[in-house]
Structure 1
């Protein structure tokens, strides 16, 4: 899906002045990867297609790593339905796997986006789940229904 839109370039590091040159950097080749405008546009469209977008290893039915499994389980626990979520298996597309890391500037998979906003990886999502912040975020973005608060019971003396 994303392969034709990605490109790589190699650039030679050359110091601009003799004083800024370190012997370590002289003549060393360093690879710089960058996303093309087309790749950024495709990823952006994918992220905006549904309220919840998950880039993971494997599929929700068959996660290929424990972190992806944990994210799927947390989203399921909160009642995020398949209609509200798109998932992308980065193991099926190596170019997507590297592109999404570059796009988000986040080095690990899984990655979750809510209403087009990058939330983070498994550790961030678990922390938000444990603090109750995730439920509030999902409710405020109309991804899951708000649970009405029960009125406080008064005690008669």
Structure 2
């Protein structure tokens, strides 16, 4: 499987996916820390990929996404944005709404 195929599969298989440096419990940069905190405050489970442990994904994802930086939040297959956008959406309440709508439990309603 190519790196691009892996990225596509990760995005398609996870309703809420954060590509970040480190993990939500142990972020390895301030931007990833702020983004994961904003996402965790929504109270729903989300998948993440530690790009520091996946150098091929780290190299290819910016080209695939047409977004040069990390973290990157993907919801329902759509790139939402990076740290600043995630934090702005969190402050306005948009992120909570988007995450609640995308959460797997919401599908059953």
CA displacement at 1:143 relative to structure 2: 5.2
Query: Runs of 5+ in structure 2 lacking a partner?
Result: none
Determine if the alignment matches structure 1 residue 95 to structure 2 residue 56: yes
Structure-2 residue corresponding to 1:104: 65
Determine if the alignment matches structure 1 residue 61 to structure 2 residue 25: yes
How many residues in Structure 1 have an aligned counterpart in Structure 2?
106
Cα gap change, 1:74 to 1:142, in 2 (>3 Å): same
Structure-2 residue corresponding to 1:136: 97
Determine if the alignment matches structure 1 residue 114 to structure 2 residue 75: yes
Q: Would you tell me which structure has more helix in proportion to its own residues?
A: 2
Q: Would you tell me which structure has more strand in proportion to its own residues?
A: 1
CA displacement at 1:139 relative to structure 2: 2.4
For 1:11-90, what aligned pairs fall within 5 Å after superposition? 38-81=2-45, 85-90=46-51
Once the two structures are superposed, residues 49-87 of structure 1 have per-residue CA deviations (whole angstroms, 9 ceiling, x without a partner) of: 121111100111210001111111111111022xxx221
Q: State how far apart, in whole Å, the 2-side matches of 1:73 and 1:46 are.
A: 21
Superposition TM-score, scaled by structure 1 size:
0.62
Query: Runs of 5+ in structure 1 lacking a partner?
Result: 6-37, 146-157
Q: State how far apart, in whole Å, the 2-side matches of 1:143 and 1:126 are.
A: 22
- Aligned-residue RMSD, C-alpha: 1.7
Specify which structure has the bigger relative contact order, considering alpha-carbon pairs within 8 angstroms and separated by 6 or more residues: 2
